[in-house]
Each structure stands twice: as C-alpha cells, then as structure tokens.
Amino acid sequence: MVLGSFRPKMRYPTIKVIRNRSSTTPGSRWKIEGLRDETGKRIRKFFASKDQADEWLREKRPELRTQGRSALTLTDFQRTDAKRAIEILAPFSASLTEAAQDYADRAATMARSIQFSDLIGEIESTKRADGKSENYIHNLIGNIRRFKEEMGDKLVAEFNSQEIDDWLRALDFSPTTRNNYRRNLSVAFSYAISRGYCQSNPMPNTAKAKAVLDEPGILFPVEFEVMLNCAPPTMQASLAIAGFAGIREAEIARLDWSDVNLTEGLIAIKAAKAKTASRRVVPILPALAAWLGPLTQKTGLIHPTYYHRDLRLLRPEAIKFLKKNKVPCPNLESWPANALRHSFISYRLATEPNAALVALEAGHNQQMLHGHYKALVSPKAGRAWFNLRPAANGSNVVRFAKSIG
C-alpha cells in the first residue's frame, strides 16, 4: 500500500427498527432508533407495524446516507465552528439552520434597505398618490423629518426600538405630541416593512406616554362676538362656521360655498374634505344662518387665504378692543387649540339635551362627548353663545353683556 492512499471507512449512525415494548398506544408499537437532527439531538419515529417502519426507513436511507457523506466533507475548522455554534444556540433551543436562515434574512434586508431620507421622499409621494390630505401629509412628513435630522441619516434597517424610545423620551413636548411623533414614526416603519426595507417595526416596543386629557379650552361668548365683528367679511363666514357648526379648522380650509345649502339649512362635509374621511352633514343653526346670509356665494372657497395665519392676525385686534373696554379676554390671549370647535360642542351640549344629535353634528362619538365636554358651561352661557347676531346696521358694534357668563 502506498503511503497516503489510505481513506478512512465512512461510518454511519446505526439506524434500526425495534419493538417499542413500553408503548400502550397501537400507533407506536415500533420505533426507529439512531436518528439525529441537525443539532445532534436524538429523534424517534413511531409506527403501528414493523413493515411500516421498514418501508419508511428504506425510502429515507438514501437521504440519510447523503447527509452522512456531506458531513464527512466538512473541514476541521467547519466542524469546530459548527460545534461552537451549537453550544451558543443551546440555551435558545435553536438549530444551526434556523440561526443561519435568520442571519441570511437580515443580511438580505440590509442589502435592500435605503437611507431614511429616501424613505421620507417615498412616503410623501405614496401618501399623496393615495389621496391623503395635505394637512395629514404635512404633519406626517414634518414629524419623521425631524426624527431623521436629529437621529442621523442611516439605513432604515439599522434603527432599533431602544434608541427611538430614548429619542421620544427626550422630546420637550406634551405627552400627546410625543405620542403623535410615535404614531407617525410607526406609519413610516410599517411602510418600510411593506417595501422590504426592514424586517420589523421597532415602534411597538417603544413606550407610549400617558396623556391626561385636559378640559378643552373654549372662548367666552363676548370674546367670540368681538372676533366676529372685528373680522373682515372674507373671514366672518369661516369664523361663524367654526363657532356655530363646530367644523374643524382643517375642514374649513377645504370647504367650498357649493357645500353650503342655506335653503335646506345644511353644510355637507364631503369625505375627501373630512378629517375622518367619512361624509357627514352639519345643520345650519339660526345663529349661523344669520351670519352667512349676507355673505353667501355660489362657488369658491369659503376661506380663500390661509385660515390659521388670518386667525393669528385677527386675535390681537380683538384683544386690543376688549382691553380698551376693560373686558377680560384670557382665552383670546392664550388661544386654546381648536378653540372655536371646542366652544361650539361645549355650548351646544349645554343647550341641546340630545347628546346623540350633538355627537352626530360634531363628528364625535357620545363617549368622547360626555367624557370631554359635558357640563363645562352653563345653559345660560350656551344661550348667550347661540344668540350672537350681526349688528343690525352692519357696523362692527359690540354689545357687551354685564357678565361674561
């Protein structure tokens, strides 16, 4: 024999069919011993008869031999590496195959992933193509862009829940605003998953801030009266609709005169213009009809310019007028969020006993209505609010009540 021509004889695990004497179950009276999974853990196969066990083993033996041969082709390093990997995975009851597949999946995801700045551009284009409102897109993109600017522009798949959670906690905002950021980031990562840019959404593992609902900020009737009378005709209509119909500011910015039907006494908030993307019809109450009557047009935006900007410019004029007449105006100075909508709902609930009707008008559910607005104001103040009317002579004359109510 020539030195070096020796080849070791291949040895295969002993696999045999034996009687399962401890079995009391008819289907497990025979078993196959000697089978191992890829981690080396022993596995057993049970059969009702020896013939069934022999037949299964005859069909599987070529495959088992192939597996045995492939194992013999491993280098010493590979065998050592596999043994060490099995030891590492043992506490987690995971196999080498599972670990390798998980690694391959993550590597493939990293290869497909994109920079977070590119994700922002994709989301903006997609949401616009899906018909989302400009206000929604503005808020969504603004929040996730701030995240990118402060956290850095790295691959979407590289972000983890811990670093995002730390970033959210460091925001110097109210709990509600922090939760808005969290929600918008979740939208971004959910989109990234759908495109294959990351494997999972890290946001569910971040903490949600506990937001305690404050009482909604509202205006006094006299404050609203001054605003209406100080406003130019182009703005009186939008103010009146906000204060006497409770339509949201974002909805007013999209509202057209063709949506207003004074004859039938209704304003149609179409699904495309509604915050909730569902159509609703709001009644035109007598107070609103009195203000809209001389202002109504056939078509065109009710507020053709920037509503929030015009509102911000109007407030100082109303404050100046009230202070000159020694009337307190704390709400005009602080201007609570959605002040006119919250005012309408509060005063309407104080004067209308049918809460279901008010909820329908406001586009709210009754539970929110009772928990957030009930008993905030007196019926007397509610009547004062809905009794506001334009000055008879058309001039900006304010009829001050002896008390704010």
Confidence tier at 36 by pLDDT (50, 70, 90)? low
Its pTM stands at: 0.55
Give the rounded percent of residues in the chain with a pLDDT score beyond 70: 79
d(CA 226, CA 388): 10
Phi, psi (rounded to 5 degrees) for 135? -65, -40
Q: Report domain 221-386's class.
A: mainly alpha
CB atoms within 10 A of CB 221: 23
Report the distance separating Cα 97 and Cα 105, nearest Å. Answer: 12
Cα–Cα distance measured from residue 218 to residue 223, given in angstroms and rounded to the nearest whole number = 10
Percent of the residues in the chain that have a pLDDT greater than 90, as a whole number: 40
Torsion of CA 387, 392, 397, 399, to 10 degrees: -40
133 pLDDT more than 60: yes
Q: Determine phi and psi for 318, rounding to 5 degrees.
A: -65, -40
What pLDDT score was predicted for residue 47? 81
For CA atoms 290, 292, 295, 296, give the dihedral sign: negative
Selected residue with higher pLDDT from 31 and 225 = 225
Q: Which residue has the higher pLDDT, 116 or 213?
A: 116
Average pLDDT over residues 168-176: 89
The confidence band for 271, taking pLDDT boundaries of 50, 70 and 90, is low
Cβ burial 15-30 (10 Å sphere, 16+ → b, else e): eebeebeeeeeeeebb
CATH of the domain spanning 116-205:
1.10.150.130
Sequence-separated (6 or more) residues with CB below 8 Å from residue 39: 86, 89, 95, 96
The segment with the largest mean pLDDT, out of 20-34, 37-51, 81-95, is 81-95
Q: Which two tokens stand for residue 244?
A: 């006497």
Classified as helix, coil or strand, 31 is strand
Q: Rounded mean pLDDT of 28-56? A: 75
Determine the pLDDT at residue 213.
Answer: 53
Residue scoring higher pLDDT (338 or 24): 338
> Is the model more confident about 143 or about 79?
143
Q: Cα separation of 250 and 171, whole Å?
A: 26
What's the chain's average pLDDT? Answer: 82
Quick one: pLDDT at residue 38?
57
The radius of gyration computed from the CA coordinates of the chain, to the nearest angstrom, equals 36
Whether 281 contacts 266, CB under 8 Å: yes
Q: Would the pLDDT of 40 be above 90?
A: no
Q: Is the pLDDT of residue 81 over 50?
A: yes
Residue of higher predicted confidence among 373 and 343? 343
Which pLDDT belongs to residue 392? Answer: 67
More confident residue, 87 or 197: 197
Report the SS3 class of residue 150: helix
pLDDT of 297 > 60? The answer is: yes
By the 8 A CB rule, do 361 and 391 touch? no
Is 335 a residue whose pLDDT tops 70?
yes
Q: Cβ(222)–Cβ(400) under 8 Å?
A: yes
The pLDDT of residue 70 is: 57
Structural domain spans, the chain: 16-73, 116-205, 221-386
Angstrom distances, CA of residue 133 to CA of 113, 181, 273, 357, 391: 28, 18, 8, 27, 37
User: What is the spatial distance between Cα 78 and Cα 84, in angstroms, rounded to a whole number?
Assistant: 10
Using the CB atoms, write b or e for 177-197: b if 16+ within 10 Å: ebbbbbebbbbbbebbeeeeb
> What digits encode the pLDDT tens for the residues 199-254?
999 999 999 998 665 556 789 999 999 999 999 888 999 999 999 998 988 888 88
Q: Distances from the Cα of 189 to the Cαs of 166, 186, 287, 350, in angstroms?
A: 17, 5, 47, 43
* Mean pLDDT calculated for residue range 322-350: 88
What is residue 214's predicted lDDT score, i.e. its pLDDT? 56
Helices then strands, counting H and E runs in the chain, come out as 17, 6
Q: How many residues does the chain have?
A: 405
Mean pLDDT for 330-344 is 86
Task: Return the closest-CA partner of residue 388 out of 376, 402, 373, 401.
Answer: 401
With a cut of 90, say whether residue 157 has pLDDT above it. Answer: yes
The pLDDT assigned to 135 comes to 75
Which range, 9-13, 14-18, 197-201, 266-270, has the best average confidence (pLDDT)?
197-201
φ/ψ (deg, to 5) at 279:
-70, 140
